[in-house]
Structure 1
Amino acid sequence: MDITAGQLLSQIEYPSDLRKLTREQLHQVCDELRQFIIDQVSVHGGHFAASLGVVELTVALHYVYNTPYDQLVWDVGHQAYGHKILTGRKSVFHTNRKYHGISGFPNRGESEYDTFGVGHSSTSISAALGMALASKYKGEHDRQHIAVIGDGSMTAGMAFEALNHAGVANANVLIILNDNCMSIDPNVGALKEYLTDISTSHTYNKLRDDVWNMLGKLPVGKKFTRDMASKFEASIKGLVSKSSNLFESLNLRYFGPIDGHNISKLTDTLQDLKDIPGPKLLHVVTTKGKGYSLAEKDQTKWHAPGLFDKITGEIFKKIPEGPQPPKYQDVFGLTMIELAEQNDKVMGITPAMPSGSSLKFMMEKMPDRAFDVGICEQHAVTLSAGLATQGMRVYCNIYSSFMQRAFDQVVHDVAIQNLPVVLCLDRAGLVGEDGATHHGAYDISYMRCIPNLIVFSPMNEEELRNMMYTAQLPEQKSPVVIRYPRGEGVMSDWRKPFAVMPIGKGRKIRDGRDVAILSFGHPGNFVTEACRELMNDGLEPAHYDIRFVKPLDKELLHEVFSRYDKVITVEDGAIRGGFGSAILEFMAEYNYKADVKMLGIPDRLVEHGKPAELHRECGYDAAGIAMAVRQMMSSQVTVSEG
């Protein structure tokens, strides 16, 4: 489908073109940009509601500021589609998040306008402050630095650390707080209540506006007017708003809240703020999904809806024939309810991903036992540890990529104290279109080096279910890591009676000759498919599902290396330090000699694409595994990476 931009948007390739337009034309640009995003995402997919909510803010920023010399940093990046379209990527935007296409997030390697690569939340203030300090050091006093951060991202500790530093750094940085009460799911916590209090304090906001309007009409110099306004603001804040001093108590000049969909007000305000040096914060109130009524009403559903009919709002989904396997996340979420009904000590924690993790099922049914703590991975892990000290059996569900942010808490607060927290790592392995920032590539490597941890990965839904059951039994006293991939599993009939999963025990799926394939987790299903293909060639590889990378099933591995001198390992994780490395360590410890080929995520950044495309690229899909076996059988090889 050929999607064309509107009359004005078609003339804009870069912000320099935008700045040639009159202020009156910006309204039309906003309308055309919003429609272009709707057209593109409905046909080609991607994140949706977040970018619609910041159309006016995006246009105003690029109109007022001299980007890319003035440096604009987007937090997370879900909302940066309008930014990409206005900065040279309109003609290729249809490739967004597609294999070998442009990234769905700001990416420094893609454009000079993408000043900082993002994907995880709450980094923008730190990055922009770093840029501002560098400019100050270099004498670039005219250079502006702007961080756009949502109120969801502002809940993370890292954002508060940056605010604390920004207040004393005396650097020229503007923090724009995009307040829409949403991240992916609705925001939680005291900050949400605080921002609501500010934005609904009619007395304070009316008085503030009146003061600014009055002083703006006085026949005095601009600097003197601002000084007077600042002093008057300080005198009225304590009187009319009980909570208006949070940001200014950190030495940040606070402005707002203002309507984030009023392009005239935004451009006027940003133009004024350019003349105010030092750290400052502009509070902008927006609506996620603005301009598409269905997205405004159900912002979580329309965060990334897939392909849809923009007229009717119908989201296109393939209707499968017969029973289908569930998503691993739903197996987790539904199993949590079963376990909690059987064991009153079971509790659930997630950092801002109740829908993505499916903990929402338990939160709805048992709100006193399942909690969304906001975008706070470190807090989530240590909170879980605290609960565990009181006898609770806590399942802390964090995406593998996000768990990287809480590594210290896993070591210091869980492992060293040997607390039986269950760390459920969703989206382990290559996750697809979100790309390098979201791939769960490293958790095997960084978890298996930590003492006291048990590290497990299921090959199917039944194994996930049984390991979750085993982890909460009274005799299980060590912390457990369970990693599983994004998306559907392989079993439609998965809800079977619980069974104990023997810790540290793998299984032999099929016997064979000449070569043994050792798999860890869901890629074992790729091995099963490869074995069927190889049998057609007259080859009979053995297949072992190792299940536990820590502790390893030494008995099973002694069997493997006493029978086979050719071994292939398969994992959906980084080869360096991962499952294959664990097998090599076992070989070295027991003086086995064998030719070993390791298949998994190579020692480089893997970009975005459909999971099947990325598995093929990395060589551990069924075809890649079969090819590795054929090559091993046709020639002698030494230890190598696939």
Structure 2
Amino acid sequence: EDEAGQAKIRSGASSPAFTNFARDAIGDCMRRDRRVTVMTAAMCQGNKLEPVREEFPERFFDVGICEAHAVAFAAGHAKTGLRPIVTIYSTFLQRSYDQIFQEVALQNLPVTFMMDRAGLAGPDGATHHGVYDISYMRVFPNMVVLAPGDGPELAKMLDFAIASDVPVAIRYPKAPAKDLGLGDQPIELGKSQVLRWGTDGAILALGGLLESALDAAELLAQQGIDVAVINQRFVKPLDDALLEKVFNECKFVVTVEEGALMGGFGSAVLELASDRGWEARHMRRLGIPDQFIEHAEREELLADLGLSAAGIADKCRELAAVASEVA
């Protein structure tokens, strides 16, 4: 522990970025499967895809600053039996919303969306924060939406996507991707992962904030609060069976996402709880509030928004106190 009595938080500063893992995973898929093609919209450098372009020039397409064309082009590839990957910043994929709807989701085509910079983009500010993709992707029938908890899991999710016959969207942040040791099991549709179990409460962690959720659980354990930590993996479809167990056995539930709360992951969980009639009085959502977020370093913004390990632990302590009063 440090002088403030708080558990030292894992440092991922020296870990490769999620973007690096994405690039390497794309290259691996292209080596194994000649059906895999890549579309980007003037983001070859930003997404660190130069090695992929150099190795596979005949299957790599940079369409320039025209995201709508990139998605429509990918849909055309999918119709011919190819397995296209569209790799674009989350915030810029919004420009192709009609094509995602008309050309991909409606046709139920196997296009994979690799949404880089999903979450807070740090100093790039409000125009580049990719916080709306969960809300705008999960509404489409046929669409599967995932978020990896660490770098190796991103590669497994891409393998899952390429093997799928439906549209798949994978979101990941501009952040280090420390290997959290999530195991070697392949991704199974709609299945989350229990990393630790406790009935005092549960943290449902999505994507790049999983490490902070694990650190928060360690802080809480030092104070005698035993919480479950779930590596959510899927926003759509949700793991109904596991969530039912969580709501039935845990005294409180906290969802954690690096995305807009309105229409986001936490909203999806609340919708399911409402549909199933689960008790959700002691559920709270942590994420991006209904406001534009200014520029600052990502870790600073996460702390300000209550999305750091300390912030997550604070919310859990608050709910644990309320739950104990009710009991």
Distance 1:598 1:492 in 2: 23
Q: Is the counterpart of residue 630 in structure 1 residue 321 in structure 2?
A: no
1:562-586: per-residue Cα shift (whole Å, max 9, x none)?
1123111100000111000001011
Give the corresponding residue for 2:107.
417
Look up the equivalent residue of 2:69 and give its one-letter code: H
Give the corresponding residue for 1:482.
170
Q: Is the counterpart of residue 536 in structure 1 residue 222 in structure 2?
A: yes
Are the counterparts in 1 of residues 252 and 323 from structure 2 also a CA contact under 8 Å? no
1:398-437: per-residue Cα shift (whole Å, max 9, x none)?
1001011111111111000000000000000011001111
Give the corresponding residue for 1:550.
236
Which of residues 521, 525, 531 is equivalent to 2:207?
521
Which of residues 75, 78, 82 is equivalent to 1:385?
75
Give the corresponding residue for 1:444.
134
Q: Is the counterpart of residue 618 in structure 1 residue 308 in structure 2?
A: no
Which of residues 567, 574, 597 is equivalent to 2:260?
574
Aligned-partner SS, 2:208:
coil
1:24-423 to 2 correspondences below 5 Å:
324-423=14-113
User: Using a 3 Å threshold, how does the CA distance of structure 1 residues 433 and 360 change in structure 2: closer, same or farther?
Assistant: same
Aligned-partner SS, 1:356:
coil
Aligned-partner SS, 2:122:
coil
Aligned-partner SS, 2:34:
coil
Look up the equivalent residue of 1:418 and give its one-letter code: N
How far is the alpha carbon of 1:467 from its aligned partner?
0.9
TM-score by length of 1: 0.47
Distance 1:627 1:460 in 2: 24
Look up the equivalent residue of 2:135 and give its one-letter code: S
User: Using a 3 Å threshold, how does the CA distance of structure 1 residues 462 and 472 change in structure 2: closer, same or farther?
Assistant: same
How far is the alpha carbon of 1:493 from its aligned partner?
8.9
1:279-335: per-residue Cα shift (whole Å, max 9, x none)?
xxxxxxxxxxxxxxxxxxxxxxxxxxxxxxxxxxxxxxxxxx999421111111111
How far is the alpha carbon of 1:492 from its aligned partner?
9.1
Look up the equivalent residue of 1:549 and give its one-letter code: V
Gaps of 5+ in 1: 1-320, 638-642
Are the counterparts in 1 of residues 25 and 155 from structure 2 also a CA contact under 8 Å? yes
Look up the equivalent residue of 1:482 and give its one-letter code: I
1:470-507: per-residue Cα shift (whole Å, max 9, x none)?
2112xx1100000000031112999x98x631111101
Give the corresponding residue for 2:8.
none
How far is the alpha carbon of 1:371 from its aligned partner?
1.4
Distance 1:363 1:451 in 2: 32
Are the counterparts in 2 of residues 600 and 620 from structure 1 also a CA contact under 8 Å? yes
Q: Which has the higher contact order (CA 8 A, sep 6+)?
A: 2
Tell me the number of residue pairs that the alignment of Structure 1 and Structure 2 aligns: 313
How far is the alpha carbon of 1:636 from its aligned partner?
5.1
Are the counterparts in 2 of residues 359 and 370 from structure 1 also a CA contact under 8 Å? no
Look up the equivalent residue of 1:481 and give its one-letter code: A
Distance 2:180 2:272 in 1: 36
1:170-197: per-residue Cα shift (whole Å, max 9, x none)?
xxxxxxxxxxxxxxxxxxxxxxxxxxxx
Aligned-partner SS, 2:155:
helix
Aligned-partner SS, 1:394:
strand
1:586-605 to 2 correspondences below 5 Å:
586-594=272-280, 595-605=282-292
1:373-421: per-residue Cα shift (whole Å, max 9, x none)?
1001000011000011011111100100101111111111100000000
How far is the alpha carbon of 1:359 from its aligned partner?
2.1
Give the corresponding residue for 1:65.
none
Report sequence identity in percent.
42
Give the corresponding residue for 1:290.
none
Are the counterparts in 2 of residues 325 and 492 from structure 1 also a CA contact under 8 Å? no
Are the counterparts in 1 of residues 111 and 167 from structure 2 also a CA contact under 8 Å? yes
Are the counterparts in 1 of residues 74 and 111 from structure 2 also a CA contact under 8 Å? yes
Are the counterparts in 2 of residues 324 and 491 from structure 1 also a CA contact under 8 Å? no
Root-mean-square deviation (CA), in Å?
2.0
Distance 2:258 2:180 in 1: 22
If each structure's strand is expressed as a fraction of its own residues, which one has the higher value?
2
User: Using a 3 Å threshold, how does the CA distance of structure 1 residues 420 and 328 change in structure 2: closer, same or farther?
Assistant: same
Distance 2:137 2:322 in 1: 35
Aligned-partner SS, 2:270:
helix
Are the counterparts in 2 of residues 326 and 491 from structure 1 also a CA contact under 8 Å? no
Aligned-partner SS, 2:31:
helix
Distance 1:375 1:446 in 2: 21
1:204-261: per-residue Cα shift (whole Å, max 9, x none)?
xxxxxxxxxxxxxxxxxxxxxxxxxxxxxxxxxxxxxxxxxxxxxxxxxxxxxxxxxx
User: Using a 3 Å threshold, how does the CA distance of structure 1 residues 504 and 357 change in structure 2: closer, same or farther?
Assistant: same
Give the corresponding residue for 2:246.
560
Aligned-partner SS, 2:135:
helix
Aligned-partner SS, 1:538:
coil
How far is the alpha carbon of 1:458 from its aligned partner?
0.2
Gaps of 5+ in 2: 1-10
TM-score by length of 2: 0.92
Are the counterparts in 2 of residues 573 and 601 from structure 1 also a CA contact under 8 Å? yes
Aligned-partner SS, 1:620:
coil
Distance 1:492 1:422 in 2: 24
How far is the alpha carbon of 1:338 from its aligned partner?
1.3
Distance 2:180 2:310 in 1: 24
Are the counterparts in 1 of residues 134 and 264 from structure 2 also a CA contact under 8 Å? yes
